[in-house]
Amino acid sequence: MNPTSPPSAPRRSWRLTWPRPASAAALVLSLIAVVLGLSPAPAQAASLQEVTGFGSNPGNLQMFQYAPANLPSGAPLVVALHGCTQSASDYYSHSGWSKYADMYGFALVLPQTTSSNNANSCFNWYQSSDYTRGQGEALSIKQMVDYAKSHYGSDPSRVYVTGLSAGGAMTSVMLADYPDVFAGGAIDSGIPAGCATDLTSGLTCEYNAVNKTPQQWGDAVRGASGGWGGPWPRVAIWQGTGDSTVNPANATEERDQWTHVWGISQTPSSTTSLTGGTTQATYNDANGKPAVETFSISGMAHGLAVNPGSAADQCGSTGTYYLNYICSSYWTAKFWGLDASGGGGTGSLPAPTGLTVTGTTDTTVSLSWSAASGAASYNVYRGGNKVGSVTGTSYTDTGLGSGTKYTYTVAAVDSGGAVGTQSSTVSATTTGYQPQCFTDNNYNQVTAGRAHQSLGYVYANGSNQNMGLYNLYVTHTLEETASGYYVIADSGCPS
């Protein structure tokens, strides 16, 4: 994924051409391309379509798209970013994402960069003119999302981004720049957002362990986001322990970054052993839902994990930097809730119409919808995850956080259990939250889940205010001003 295009080079008014003579500099560039560049792109897949005129395109990128036949309005959208020297069609052919687009029902957007932007056709994740919100390549990718949402009627609450190597680093950029656009992301052998500001620091981030505190990493995301206050994307992080191209320590720093953004502990809520020597660690949010997941693959070198085969959890094809361990695309889709149980839909029943919010309280949202012909029951989804099943056309979701916004869809289920297409999305916000106060020592505040500790210090969940040392002797009062959001209130608290 090595970036080799000088950050100050003019990029839009002329094509950047690198010299061919076998100079020392050219030799270094060629070696880097071999090490980091991933396999050369094959001919464009016939099932992909290039889109032109999707926006002002300040990043000088190409847009390719794939959508299953008869894709309904309101389906999810996944953006997939290739690695250095790869192409959109190469990533489409090997990664397995097209299988799940067909199986679960969502559209794919595959941005593509070229050597006119970067000598090795890497996304310029380290270059400020491209990694800043509203500029360059970052804006071009966002314009592709806008085009796809308009063209396919994609659900704006279910837009996701993933990428490998330099594409993984650019995924970090997109999640930090546009948390208002992406509900989730998956960083495969990538770099934390805000690690690099130029070519030199980009190489440092790639090969070395750039160790920052969770607070510093979280601040990088918050600073890039344009003032966004949440909700934040749910992020999966994939890394091989034998990777000599991207230092595996980057995965730890990415975990620290996104758990801090979420205001949750860097200690996993659970760990699971998966196929291919993969260890999955899950970090739950305040409601017990996975917010961050890491997938560490023992011994895997630099590349994207695939697992060719016909089973539901198998995908992709092997090749240079496409390595046979586990189908990362399947587990990422499952984490995002795109699988059938999460609402992707495999049956032929139409989407229910007329989904309406009929009432809210501090902790509940009530819904109703019109009956769908042939339905035996209905699945109800909150934020893309199934939360209930009913035989009627109404449902009340309970146990919610006060003063919190939620999104809902419903899908009809036939008598054989096949789930049809999801409805369009509605949003509901529960009524105001009654502040609560808790006075205790820092150790007990962490144990109770109101704060978290990092490097010997304690931080309030939500506000991330520094509460001092992690011990039994420092006491603070925390006020929960919203569900899971705590601020220091030592000077007084509402009764």
Residue 154 DSSP SS3? coil
Q: How does DSSP classify residue 490?
A: T
DSSP string, 278-316: EEEEEEE-TTS-EEEEEEEETT--SSEEEB-SSSTT-B-
Name residues of the chain where pLDDT drops below 50. Answer: 5-46, 341-346
Phi-psi region of 276 (alpha: psi -120 to 50; beta: other; left: phi over 0): left
Res 340: pLDDT: 52
As beta bridge partners, residue 419 has: 413
pLDDT tens digits, 302-333: 999 999 999 889 999 999 899 999 999 999 99
pLDDT tens digits, 366-415: 999 999 888 999 999 887 678 888 999 999 999 888 778 888 889 898 87
Q: Which tokens hold the place of 202?
A: 């980009």
Query: Would you call 165 a catalytic residue per the annotation?
Result: yes
Residue among 165, 225, 328, 454 flagged as catalytic: 165
Res 3: pLDDT: 58
As beta bridge partners, residue 454 has: 457
DSSP string, 7-64: TTS--SSS------S--HHHHHHHHHHHHHS-SPP-SPPTT-EEE--SS--TT--EEE
pLDDT tens digits, 438-454: 999 999 999 899 999 99
Q: How does DSSP classify residue 349?
A: P
